[in-house]
Structure 1
Amino acid sequence: MMEGLALVLLYLAIPSLLFSAVQQVLSWRKKTLGSVPKFPGPQQFPVVGRIHDLPRFSMWLKFKEWADIHGPIYETHALNQTFIIVSDEKIAEELLVKRGHIYSGRPQIRSLIKHKDGPAYSALMDRHDIWKNQRKWCHAAMAEAYKHHFYGHVEREMKRYLGLMLLDPTRFLDYTREYCGRVMSRLAWDDATQGRTNGDSADRTLHCMSVSGPITNTVTPLWYIPSFANPWYQYEIKREAEQRAWWLNNFRLAKDRMRRGELPNDTWAYRYFEQIQREQGNLDLDQPEEQEVFASCMIGFLNLVGVVTISGPLKFFLMAMGLHPEWQKKCQDEIDRVCGDRMPTMEDFPNLPTVRACLKETVRWRSGVPLGVPHQAERDDEYRGVKIKKNTIILACEWNINRVPEKYPDGDNFRPERWLEPSWPTYQAPLTRYPNFREGVGMHTFGWGRRTCLGQNIVDDEMFVFGAASLWAFKSSPKVCPRTGETVPIDTQATNSHVILEPDNYFMDFKPRSDERAKQILEGYHSVLGELKL
C-alpha cells in the first residue's frame, strides 16, 4: 500500500521535476557560451542539485562541513533553487545590512500558505505595506513595554514557575515553555491561562515552516498534488484556520473587556484599542472583520514569536548548568553575594555578569536559530564579481558564524569566560552592562538589517530573570538512573530541528538549595496566586 502511494506521489511530481530539468539544461547552455565567475561549493548533480544528501534534520552540521571545505561564502542548489551560505560576520553585514534594500525579502515556505502576503506572519512576509504597518506598530509596542520592564509580569510568572518546579520538577521542560507562553499571553491579552495553548500553537507553526517538517518544504513539487489528495495541504489549511480563529477569539474577548473598562492598560490589545479610539474617534470599537483579522494576527504573531524564540534557549540553559556544575556554582555564589535570600529581579542585572555570561554563552553554544533566518534577493545583484540572481536565498548560518576560531576560540565548547575576561576577543566592558542580548558583540542571533527581530529586549529581561531565579532556587544535575546508579546521558545536539530549535526531551534532577530556600519558593508562589490566573 505504502509503495503504491509513493509511486503515485512520484508520478504526480514528475511534471514539476521535468520543468526543473529543462531549466537546468537551459542554464547549462548559457554557461557553456562563456565562463562566468561563481562562488565555490559542493559538486552539483543534474536536476536535484545537492538535495539528495542534504539532511532534513540538523542541516546546519552539513553546512558547517561544506563551509570548512569551501570557505566563508559558497553556493549550492536544491532542485531549481539557489542558496548562498555565509559563515562570516563581515560578509553577512555587507550583504544583509549594507545591502539590506536588496536582501530583505523572505523566501516562499511551501507548506505555509500565503505567508508572504500577510497578515498572519509579519516576520515571514515580503516587504509591503502590511509588513511595514505591522512592524512599526509592534516595534513601538515592544519598546514601550520594555521601558517598564514588562510591568513585572516576568518576575510574577517566575514565582509561579519556581513553585511548580518545587512541586513536580520532572515536568521542567513543559513548565519552561508554558512560562514563556504565559508571559506573552499576559502581555498580549491579559490572559496567562492561554500560555500552554500559545506554546503548542507556536510549535505546530514552526513544524510547518521548517525543512524538518512537511516533506513538501524540501520536495516542493509534491505541494502541487491536487488538494483532495494532498495531506500536507489539508493539514495546513486546518492548522492555520484554527490558529487564526484562536487569535481572533482572544482579540474579541479583549475588545469586550475594553468596552466594559476591564482590560488592563499594560496589554498590547489595550494599546491597539486605545489608539483606534483616540486616532479614529471609534469609541465603540466597531470594525469590519478584515481590520479585526489584521490586528488579531499582528498581536497574535507577536505573542507567538515571543514564545518560540525564548523557550528553546531557556531549555538549553538548564541543560548547560546541569552539565557544567562549576559554572552553576560560580553563578550561585554571585547571586548569593548580591541577592542574599531574595529572588533576583531585573534590578540585579548590572551586578550579575556571570549569570548573563552563561546565558549569552548558551545562545552561542547551542544557537536557537542555527541556520539563520533566510533572506531572499529582491533583485539581481553582484558581489565580489559574482552575479547573484533575484530570488536567490541567502543563509547567514549562525552555527558556523558562532564557531569562527578568530572570534570564538574553542567554539564547540561551553566557555562563558569568553564574555568575562579581557583576554578573549568577545570581551566588552563594563561588566555592569555587558554581556547582554540587546547590543554589543554576538548580536547576529536576532537576524540582520531590516529583518532584525524586534524581541531583543524581552529576551534580555525574560532570560535574565529566569536564569538568575532558577539558579537562586535550585541545584540541578543530570538524572541518575535509580536502577543502575549511572548518570543518564544528555545529547546536547538532539533537537526538533525546527527553524527555531528546542532540545529533545532530556532528564535532570532539580533540588531546592536548602530547606529555607524551599520555604521561600513556596511563599513566593503563594504570594502571586491571588493575582495570576492559574
Structure 2
Amino acid sequence: MEGLALVLLYLAIPSLVFSAIKQLLSWRKGVGSKARFPGPQQFPIVGRVHDLPRFSLWLKFKEWADEHGPIYYTKALNQPFIVISDEKIAEELLVKRGHIYSGRPQIRSLIRHKEGPAYSALMDRHDIWKTQRKWAHAAMAEAYKHHFYGHVEKEAARYLGLLLLDPARFLDYTREFCGRVMSRLAWDDATQGRTNGDSADTTLHCMSVSGPLTNTLTPLWYLPKAVNPWYNYEIERERNQRAWWLNNFRLAKERMRKGDLPGDTWAYRYFEQLRKEGNEGLDQEEEQEVFASCMIGFLNLVGVVTISGPLKFFLMAMALHPEWQKKAQEEIDRVCGDRMPTMKDFAELPTVRACLKETVRWRSGVPLGVPHQAERDDEYRGVTIKKGTIVLACEWSLNRVPSKYPDGETFRPERWLEPGWPTYQEPLTRYPNFREGQSMHTFGWGRRTCLGQNIVDDETFVFAASTLWAFNLGPKICPRTGKVVPIDTQATNSHVILEPDPYQISIKVRGEERGKSVLEGYHKVMGELRV
C-alpha cells in the first residue's frame, strides 16, 4: 500500500517537478548545518506525505515521538516540520524565541488568512494583527471583570430546560449554547447562536488537514477555476461569512444610533470608542466596517469552536465515569442545594473543575496544537531550522508525558486534586482552572497564546456544574437489544479544533423536584432572552 501511494505521488501531480527542482538546488547549495534532528525516514521530494493520515494525525505524531524523541523532523512534499512533545523545548522555541517562531503557515484552502482582516489567530504578525489582538484582549478582559454579565448563567438555564424537554438533541444544544453566549456578547443577538456554530464548524473544516484535499495536496489548489471545486467553494464560503458578520455589525450600529444597543456588548464598546474619537455619527468607509466586523465576528466565532468540543467531551467523560460524576454531584449538592450553580460557587467546587481540566487533558480540543512558523533562519541545539519551517507542539503527546501525567491514557481527575501528583496545586479554592497554573499549553504558546482562557473558565464551569446539578448521565441502552450503545472516545471530526463525532448517552433529570427547578429557571430566563 505504501508503494502504491508513493507511485501515485510521483506520477499523478505534475507540479511536483517544481518541488524536485527546488530540492535539487538546495542540495547543490549545501546550505545549513550538517546536524539533523532525528525523525522518520524521508523519501525524495515527497518526504512522508504518503503516510501522514488526514484524520487523527496527532496519533501518528505521537507514534513518531515515542520512536524518535521529544523533538523530531519530518517533511510533507516541500514543507518541513519540527514536532515537539516536551514542554521545556516548546518554551525555549515558542516562548523565549517567540520573535522568531510566531508566524502562521499558509493554510492553502483558507483564502488570504495571513493578510487579514478576517481571522486574527491565523494572521502573520503585522499591523492588522496587532490592532485586532490588542482590541480583542481589552474587550475580553473587561467582560471577564463582570463574569460576562451573567449571560453564561442565563444561557445555561435555557440549555437545561431544552435538555429536559428533548435530551436526544444534547449535542446540538451544546454547540448552540456556546454560539448563543458569544453572539450575545458580540451583538446582543443570541438568535445567531446556531448560525454561529455552523459557521465556525465550516471554517474549521476549511482550515484542517482533514478538510479540503488541497490542504494536503496543495498543487491541486492551482487548477483553473473552471475545474477547481475547492477554490470555488472557499470563495463562496468566505463571501457568505463576511456578509453575515457585516450585516450583524451594521444592525448593531443602527441600534447604537437609536440608543438601543446594550453597553455590555463588544459592538457597543467599539462604537463608543469611535464616538470618543469624535465620530458621533459612526460614519465609516466600507473598508473600515469590514475590518471591525471581522474583528468582532472572529472573536465571536472562535469562542464557539474552542468551547463546544471540550463540553461535548465532558458529557462523554461523565457518562463513562459514573464514580467521578457522583463525586462531583455530591460536592454540588453540598454547596448549592436546590439552586443552579453559578460562578459564585467556583471556589467551592474543585471536583467539578478537576473533571473539566482532566477532560481537556484526556481528549484535547486542539490535539495537534496550533502551528507556528519560523519567520527567519534559526539554530537550535546545533541544528539549523530554516525560515518557513512549521513548528508544532503536539498537545496529544504533551498531555501524555509519563513524568508529568502518569497513566496518561486514563481519565483521572484526582491528578488535579490529590497531593503527590505532578499536576497538583494548592489552594483547591483556586486550582485547577483554565486561567493559570499547570498545563496551560492547551491555549498555545508565547505571542500567539489564545486570549480566551477567562471565558473558557467561566463557561465550562457553569455548564458542567449546572448539568451535573440537574441530570444524571450514563450509557445509552439500546431499546431493541438491551445492550449498552458503545462510544468511540477517539472518533472526532479531526478538525484543528475538535468536536467528537455524534454519540449517544442517557440523560435523566435528578428527581421530580429538580425537574421543577429546571423548568422554573428555564421560564424565568426565557422572558429575558431573545429566543
Letter in 1 for 2:415: R
Match of 1:395 in 2: 392
Match of 1:118 in 2: 116
SS in 2 for 1:75: strand
Quote how far apart the aligned CAs of 1:8 are: 13
Asked whether the 8 Å contact 1:13–1:225 carries over to 2, the reply is no
Asked whether the 8 Å contact 2:33–2:383 carries over to 1, the reply is no
Match of 2:272 in 1: 274
Letter in 2 for 1:463: T
Match of 1:322 in 2: 319
Match of 1:176 in 2: 174
Letter in 2 for 1:414: F
Unaligned runs of 5+ in 1: 1-6
Give the Cα separation in 2 of the matches to 1:334 and 1:296. 43
Quote how far apart the aligned CAs of 1:22 are: 1.3
Give the Cα separation in 1 of the matches to 2:494 and 2:21. 33
Give the Cα separation in 2 of the matches to 1:35 and 1:56. 32
Per-residue CA deviations over 1:306-360 (Å, capped at 9, x if unaligned) read 0000000000000000000000000000000000000000000000000000000
Quote how far apart the aligned CAs of 1:30 are: 4.4
SS in 2 for 1:509: strand
1:356 aligns with 2:340: no
1:346 aligns with 2:343: yes
Per-residue CA deviations over 1:451-495 (Å, capped at 9, x if unaligned) read 000000000000000000000000010110001110000000000
Q: 1:307 aligns with which of 299, 304, 309?
A: 304
SS in 2 for 1:432: coil
Letter in 2 for 1:247: W
Letter in 1 for 2:110: L
Q: 2:482 aligns with which of 478, 481, 485?
A: 485
Give the Cα separation in 2 of the matches to 1:458 and 1:288. 32
SS in 2 for 1:216: helix
Per-residue CA deviations over 1:290-321 (Å, capped at 9, x if unaligned) read 00000000000000000000000000000000
Give the Cα separation in 2 of the matches to 1:102 and 1:208. 27
Quote how far apart the aligned CAs of 1:46 are: 1.2
Asked whether the 8 Å contact 1:154–1:183 carries over to 2, the reply is yes
Give the Cα separation in 2 of the matches to 1:138 and 1:483. 51
Match of 1:4 in 2: none
SS in 1 for 2:155: helix
1:453 aligns with 2:454: no
1:17 aligns with 2:16: yes
Asked whether the 8 Å contact 2:33–2:382 carries over to 1, the reply is no
SS in 1 for 2:244: helix
Match of 1:59 in 2: 57
Q: 2:415 aligns with which of 412, 415, 418?
A: 418
Quote how far apart the aligned CAs of 1:29 are: 3.6
1:476 aligns with 2:473: yes
Letter in 1 for 2:181: V
Give the Cα separation in 2 of the matches to 1:349 and 1:97. 30
Match of 1:262 in 2: 260
Match of 1:428 in 2: 425
Per-residue CA deviations over 1:256-308 (Å, capped at 9, x if unaligned) read 000000000000000000000012x1111110000000000000000000000
What is the identity percentage for the equivalent residue pairs of Structure 1 and Structure 2?
Answer: 81
Give the Cα separation in 2 of the matches to 1:506 and 1:460. 25
Match of 2:3 in 1: none
SS in 1 for 2:102: coil
Per-residue CA deviations over 1:336-391 (Å, capped at 9, x if unaligned) read 00000000000000000000000000000000000000000000000000000001
Asked whether the 8 Å contact 1:351–1:432 carries over to 2, the reply is yes
Quote how far apart the aligned CAs of 1:25 are: 2.3
Give the Cα separation in 1 of the matches to 2:446 and 2:361. 20
Quote how far apart the aligned CAs of 1:240 are: 0.2
SS in 1 for 2:81: strand
Match of 1:290 in 2: 287
Match of 2:405 in 1: 408
Quote how far apart the aligned CAs of 1:505 are: 0.2
Superposed, which structure 2 residues align to 1:10-89 within 5 Å?
Answer: 13-14=13-14, 16-31=15-30, 36-89=34-87
SS in 2 for 1:38: coil
Unaligned runs of 5+ in 2: 1-6
Q: 2:152 aligns with which of 136, 141, 154?
A: 154
SS in 2 for 1:511: strand
SS in 1 for 2:124: coil
Per-residue CA deviations over 1:224-276 (Å, capped at 9, x if unaligned) read 11112110000000000000000000000000000000000000000000000
Give the Cα separation in 1 of the matches to 2:356 and 2:514. 23
Give the Cα separation in 2 of the matches to 1:26 and 1:168. 63
Give the Cα separation in 1 of the matches to 2:363 and 2:23. 37
Give the Cα separation in 1 of the matches to 2:226 and 2:523. 53
1:500 aligns with 2:516: no
Letter in 1 for 2:373: Q
Q: 1:95 aligns with which of 89, 93, 96?
A: 93
Alpha-carbon distance change, 426 to 511 in structure 1, aligned in 2, over 3 angstroms: same
Per-residue CA deviations over 1:398-453 (Å, capped at 9, x if unaligned) read 00000000000000110000000011000000000000000000000000000000
Quote how far apart the aligned CAs of 1:174 are: 0.1
SS in 2 for 1:76: strand
Give the Cα separation in 2 of the matches to 1:448 and 1:409. 23
Alignment coverage as a number of residue pairs: 525
Alpha-carbon distance change, 276 to 34 in structure 1, aligned in 2, over 3 angstroms: closer
Match of 1:518 in 2: 515
Asked whether the 8 Å contact 1:153–1:186 carries over to 2, the reply is yes
Give the Cα separation in 2 of the matches to 1:60 and 1:12. 27
Asked whether the 8 Å contact 1:181–1:195 carries over to 2, the reply is yes
CA RMSD of aligned residues (A): 1.5
SS in 1 for 2:415: helix
Quote how far apart the aligned CAs of 1:10 are: 9.6
Give the Cα separation in 2 of the matches to 1:89 and 1:35. 25
SS in 2 for 1:394: strand
Asked whether the 8 Å contact 2:10–2:16 carries over to 1, the reply is no
Letter in 2 for 1:460: D
Asked whether the 8 Å contact 1:12–1:222 carries over to 2, the reply is no
Give the Cα separation in 2 of the matches to 1:173 and 1:47. 43
Give the Cα separation in 2 of the matches to 1:405 and 1:35. 33
Match of 2:217 in 1: 219
Asked whether the 8 Å contact 2:210–2:494 carries over to 1, the reply is yes
Give the Cα separation in 2 of the matches to 1:38 and 1:92. 18
Give the Cα separation in 1 of the matches to 2:32 and 2:157. 67
Give the Cα separation in 2 of the matches to 1:243 and 1:178. 18
Alpha-carbon distance change, 20 to 166 in structure 1, aligned in 2, over 3 angstroms: same
Give the Cα separation in 1 of the matches to 2:386 and 2:270. 40
Match of 1:3 in 2: none
Quote how far apart the aligned CAs of 1:193 are: 0.2
Quote how far apart the aligned CAs of 1:13 are: 3.9
